[in-house]
Structure 1
Amino acid sequence: MKTYLATALLSASLALPALADQHGPEISMLLAGNKEDNGFMEAGYNGLLQIEQEFGAKIAFIDQIKPEKDLLAGALRELAAAGPDMVIAHGGQNNEAAQIVAGEFPEVKFVVVQGGVTGPNLSSYEVLQEESAWLAGAAAGLLTKSGVVGHISGIRVTPGLKGRGGFYNGLMHTRPDAQFVTTFAGDQDDNDLSNRVTKAEMEQGADIIFTMLNAGRTGSIEAMRGTGTRQIGNVIDWTQVESEVFVASAIANVSIPSVEAVRDLVEGDWQPGVVRQIGLENPEAAALVLSPDVSDEVRQQIDGLRQQIIDKTIEVSTEYDGPELEM
């Protein structure tokens, strides 16, 4: 476990109505993983750095905690015991632990990013990653040549399940006869594991695979390289990182929820007991990016589907009760 502390002076030019003429807020964050994973945890850490810069916050964080309830609760207790204004638990795997620890520290405000829990001093802020995942599934249905589309995630948590369900239902919207191969491998960061799982799905005929992984994405990339199988990434724009492998990326900028939570705090608008959701209507938070080699025809179809989701003429379902690939 690694704990770090950083401070920043409040700039006179920042307008912080609820904290005027005071030092910036004290914000602590728990990252249930490596802050340099090129994925979900790194996005959360980048959000914390933005909080430090934008709001003059004094920040602290703990990372590299295994996603086990008792370990997460222990780390949250350590952060809360220092008496910050807000503790942010980054990731839905913190839901249960945050509810427990928030009850033990009623004077501290708690937020779970990508969570679905609330309480007297607890709220959740969520980017609707299932909306960009739905568009990713729709694109996979339009782009697959084999008619077999895969999905790989690590741990079985609510955001991952919702993302998988969104992807599947988007696929069924554009290619209802497609075969869907899916697995939760059990670890977000194990590259040997993700490499084996990716090869197993490719052996099933998958020519496009949606990966919801963190540091373990590298193993999946290496398994696909040079094979013609394309990957759809998530969280960041992977088409700019590995253009040969990635045909699209389902952006879910999970740095935004923590920044919005602190913005609400300093402006006096933060409320406990609510789940605040941010979707495709904010393209900085949720979007599907397509590789330059995707045709204009597919792009136009995806643009139309995006607008239908925003207009609520398409309801994004996150349900999936089909089979999973056993490893």
Structure 2
Amino acid sequence: MRFKPSRRDLLVLSGGIVCSAISQRTKAQTKPKVAALFAGRIDDSGFMEAGYRGLMAARDKLGVEVVWQDQIKPERDLLAAALRDLAKTGAAMVIAHGGQNNEAAKLVAAEFPQTRFVVTQGNVTTTNLASYEVLQEESAFLAGALAAWMTKTGVVGHMSGIRVVPGLKGRAAYANGVAYANPAVRLLTNFSGHQDDNALSKRVASAMIAAKADIIFTMLNAGRAGAIDACREGGAKQIGNVRDWAAAIPDVFVASAVADSGIALLRAVEDLVSGAAKTNAIEKIGLNRPDAVRLTMAAAVDDDLRRKIEALATDIQSGKVDVSTTWSGEEFPNPA
């Protein structure tokens, strides 16, 4: 259930009895409670919804009780306040969905040493805090290679919203995938500042199309619809992320860099229930788990390209091809 604490709730919760150790607390609960924080909307058709679906899968498959909060502005103090509220529900584990929670989770985990904390797509750890990361950079690298092999104009695009670490890593991997496949292809890349603004995403995509981009990789949430409209109007194609957009909207999407962050959330709860919950560790989930990370392709992608992508994916898993998550270069500005 969505948790929205009242003043009375907080007074009652603050007076609760805390078990002496995390392991004792977890074992005492036959169906442990798991709390989750989603900074955006849980119906955004993107990253937040994937996490929410992971929470629901944990509830349905593992029998845990769940509570959550969503639509919290991604600022450290606001995120920290929401995490405190969730910790006070008596949850055995509090999951902060998204790397924007790194600082807030580390701060609040120190205040609740008997509670396990997890950041999905994070890179922070402490004695009661772990991160679970779906390696979206691996499918993003494949997306970049496919875009470079498919473009007819020699120009491809990338669009995202806020500058969180996973988004920057995904952009870098895409850019490096483009360069790996064809160094002559030009990349237009933009962080607009908003994941959910459709009017803005349509302007950015339209401007990229006007600059000759014929394939655009979108790392957006609810704001993806604006880019879809721009691609339809401008005759461009798109590569999605998070879920399989190529299956959902094949007239626009030639592929999708699937990186199901909900799998990270589900894995964290599986570890809790099995008694193997991690601390001081970062659990990485990549192409070795195709249910979580893969590049899906629409029927428009021919068999030769499919084989090239499959071979590249194998080389990434074996370590033959390195997926770099650093990139520097000129960015495409927000249009007026």
The normalised TM-score by structure 1 is: 0.94
AA in 1 matched with 2:256: S
Matched, 1:170 2:213: no
Which residue of the other structure, out of 89, 93, 96, is the alignment partner of 2:96? 89
Q: Matched residues in 1 for 2:137 and 2:309: separation? A: 15
2:78 aligns with 71
Inter-partner Cα distance in structure 1 for 2:135 and 2:55: 20
Question: What CA distance in whole angstroms lies between the structure 2 residues aligned with 1:69 and 1:267?
Answer: 31
Deviations 1:127-183 (A, max 9, x none): 000000000000001100001010000000000000000000011011111111001
1:263-315 deviation line (CA, Å, top 9, x unaligned): 11111111211000010011001000011111101001000000000111001
Runs of 4+ in 1 over 6 A off after TM superposition: 18-21
The Cα of 1:3 is off from its aligned counterpart by: 3.0
Deviation (angstroms), 1:21: 8.9
Which residue matches 1:8? Answer: none
Letter of the 1:84 counterpart = A
Instruction: Give 1:96's aligned amino acid.
Output: E
Q: Distance in 1 between matches of 2:27 and 2:331?
A: 53
> What's the C-alpha RMSD, in Å, of the aligned pairs?
1.5
Q: d(CA) in 2 for partners of 1:318 and 1:177? A: 20
Q: What corresponds to 1:145 in structure 2? A: 152
User: How far apart are 1:318 and its partner, in Å?
Assistant: 1.1
2:240 to 219, 233, 241: 233
Residue number in structure 2 paired with 1:23:
30
- Following the alignment from structure 2 to structure 1, what is the Cα–Cα distance between the partners of residues 206 and 214? 11
Q: How does 1:130-279 map to 2 (within 5 A)?
A: 130-279=137-286
| Partner deviation per Cα, 1:4-29 (whole Å, 9 max, x = no partner) | 69xxxxxxxxxxxx978953110000
Q: Secondary structure at the match of 1:225?
A: helix
Under a length normalisation based on structure 2, what TM-score does the superposition of the two structures give? 0.91
Q: What is the correspondence of 1:35-74 to structure 2 with a 5 Å cutoff?
A: 35-74=42-81
8 Å CA contact 2:119–2:131 kept in 1: the answer is yes
For structure 1, the residue ranges without an aligned partner over 5 or more in a row are 6-17
In 1, distance between residues paired with 2:255 and 2:316? 19
8 Å CA contact 1:4–1:60 kept in 2: the answer is no
- Secondary structure in 2 matching 1:288: strand
Aligned residues of 2:206 and 2:234 also touching (Cα < 8 A): no
Provide the C-alpha distance between the structure 1 equivalents of 2:28 and 2:100, rounded to a whole number of angstroms: 37
Q: 3-state DSSP class of the match of 1:61?
A: strand
Q: Is the 8 A contact 1:23 1:56 kept in 2?
A: no
Deviation at 1:35, TM superposition (A): 0.2
Distance 1:222 1:4 in 2: 36
User: Which runs of no fewer than 5 residues in structure 2 stay unpaired?
Assistant: 6-24
More helix by share: 2
Distance 1:148 1:141 in 2: 8
Residue 299 (structure 1) aligned with residue 313 (structure 2): no
Residue type matched to 1:94 in 2? N
Kindly indicate whether the alpha-carbon contact (under 8 Å) linking 1:128 and 1:252 is maintained by their aligned counterparts in 2. Answer: yes
- Contact 2:26/2:92, CA 8 A, preserved across alignment: no
Q: 2:117 aligns with which of 106, 110, 113?
A: 110
Is 1:100 aligned to 2:107, yes or no? yes
For residue 228 of structure 1, report the CA deviation from its aligned partner. Answer: 2.1
Superposition deviation, residue 83 in structure 1:
1.8
